[in-house]
Every structure is written in structure tokens, then in C-alpha cells.
Amino acid sequence: MKRTDLNLMQRIGLETLWVCAYVFSVLPRWFKYYVVENLFYFLLYYGIRYRMSVVKTNLRNSFPEKSERELAGIRRRFYRTLAEIFVDTLDLAHLTPAKGRAALKVKGLEEHLKRVEGRDWIAMTAHYGCWEYCSFWGLYAPTQIVVAVYHPLRSRVMEALYQRLRNGDYATTVSMKESLRFYLRNRERGILGKNLVMGLIADQNPPRRPDSHWFRFLNQDTIFFDGGEKLALRCHLPVYFVKMDRLSRGRYEMSFEPIYDGEEEVAEHEITERYVRLLESEIRRRPELWIWSHRRWKHKRDVSR
């Protein structure tokens, strides 16, 4: 969204929020992560109890084998994660290469660079840890640019703010409905001569269709977006699952797990199935890093059909 698409009051609101985010991002690290984060955690968990009933239901249905005490521990740690992600996201307002490299390390960097050098590829990630840090890949691979495929926000001001936070030398954004056309239009020359990394947060809740395919995910029947699979098969692009492992406050390590090589003959839904299995494994390993406050299972499978 361009700044000129906003009316005067919206532009004032945008610039006010941007100044606040920028000022916040240049504050000392200890203040952001040990003062603001803790305040935000207490507000979310003890104050407004943000979507607490949704979080409790999602955790209980996903981990029926766990005790109430174990679920309560995951729940508290999740709200800590949510507060930290709030700080991480605002911190993007003043991003420098040194700051980005400090926030994100890449495991197996040389190996992955060899696999994707000189070609476009698809990075499938999730609302797990600070997913916004995936855009820092361009710091390590200067010949590639991350194209973050996303669902636009309803608020025009917040949409413009997120656009400003996400777009830069290392990443750009495109709406989900425009992603295929965007890739087909830019795949020959890339962007600024760089290869495209189509980044998809593929664990969102898609609209239910009569032909929706259901996957067994965290003990529940679940539908997933299949845009990554369709793009990979149509354009013969390799697909990698992006793992984000939290090391400490505001510090992550990224690694890549191959899903599809761009040439293999696969059954329908197989690429998405592989993604689902890898994501579930990561969630079971560190459940507090996934966003449990989303109404992920609002669509129910009709078992009578």
C-alpha cells in the first residue's frame, strides 16, 4: 500500500506509529527485552487475558495426553513468546545488517547456499517464534531477496505500517492473491537482479471449500493453504521447510529442511503433507513457540460425508 492511498488522518496515524516504533527500536536492548517485554507479558496474561479461552481449548485438544499442570506451563511460556514477538517486530523499524545478523544465525549456511545458488525457491514457514526474522535471509544471501507472501490487514494504517517494517533491501511483500502473478511476472529477471525466495507462512486458516483436503494435525482434522504446493509444481521450484529455533530473547537460529526438489513426481497434497509433518514435529518439540491464540480450528470436518 502506498502512502498516498491513505487519507490525511490515516497518514498522520501512520507517521505517529512509525515514529513510536523507530524510537522504540533504538532504545537499549535491556530496556526492550527486560522491561517492556515483561510489562507486555503481564498485560496479556494477567490483565486482558488475551484470547485465553482460545489458547486453553487449542492446547487441550492438541495435547490430550498432557496434564493440566503441563498445559498451564506451556500456556505461560506461550504468552512470554507472544510478548517477545511484539518487541521483535517493533525492533524492525531500525534494522541494520549488524543488528539482523545478531538476531538471526543460520545453521548449515554454506550447504544451503550451494543448494539454492542461482535459482528461485520456496520457503515454507509458520507462525512459530519470530517468523518476521525469516526476511533476514537476504543478509546471508545477497543475490537473493525474500518475497513475503501475506494476507493484508483490515486496518489500512496497520497495513501500511507493516509494509514499511517488512519491505527493505533484503525483502519485499506481496499479497496472497497476487503471489502467483507476481512470481510469473518477475521470475525471468528477478528483483534488482536477485533470485526470488517466495516465503509463505503456510499454517494459516484458509477458507473452507467443498474440495478442501483435510490433514491430521495435532490430533485434529485440519485444512491448510496449498498455494506453496501449487506454485512449486507449476514452476518446478524446490521447497524448503524453514525451522526457527529460539536461542534467547530476540535471538534465533534458522535452518532448512528439504521438502521437494522441484523435479520429483509427487502425489497430490504430498508436498503440503510433508510440510504439515515437519511443522507438527517442531511444535511438539517446543510448543510454546507456536501462536496458539489463532482460531486455527474454526472449520470442522463434516464426518457424515
Split at pLDDT 50, 70, 90, the class of 4 is low
User: Is the model more confident about 49 or about 206?
Assistant: 49
Split at pLDDT 50, 70, 90, the class of 95 is confident
Split at pLDDT 50, 70, 90, the class of 2 is low
Whether pLDDT at 61 is above 80: yes
Split at pLDDT 50, 70, 90, the class of 3 is low
3-state secondary structure the chain: CCHHHCCHHHHHHHHHHHHHHHHHHCCCHHHHHHHHHHHHHHHHHHHCCCCHHHHHHHHHHHCCCCCHHHHHHHHHHHHHHHHHHHHHHHHHHHCCHHHHHHHEEECCHHHHHHHHCCCCEEEEECCECCHHHHHHHHHHCCCEEEEEEECCCCCHHHHHHHHHHHCCCCEEEEEHHHHHHHHHHHCCCCECCEEEEEEEECCCCCCCCCCCCEEEECCEEEECCCHHHHHHHHHCCCEEEEEEEEEECCEEEEEEEEEECCCCCCCCCHHHHHHHHHHHHHHHHCHHHECCCCCCCCCCCCCCC
Q: What is the mean pLDDT of residues 76-96?
A: 95
What is the residue extent of each domain of the chain?
A: 3-289
Range in 78-82, 84-88, 96-100, 216-220 the model is least confident about: 96-100
pLDDT tens per residue, range 142-156: 999 999 998 888 899
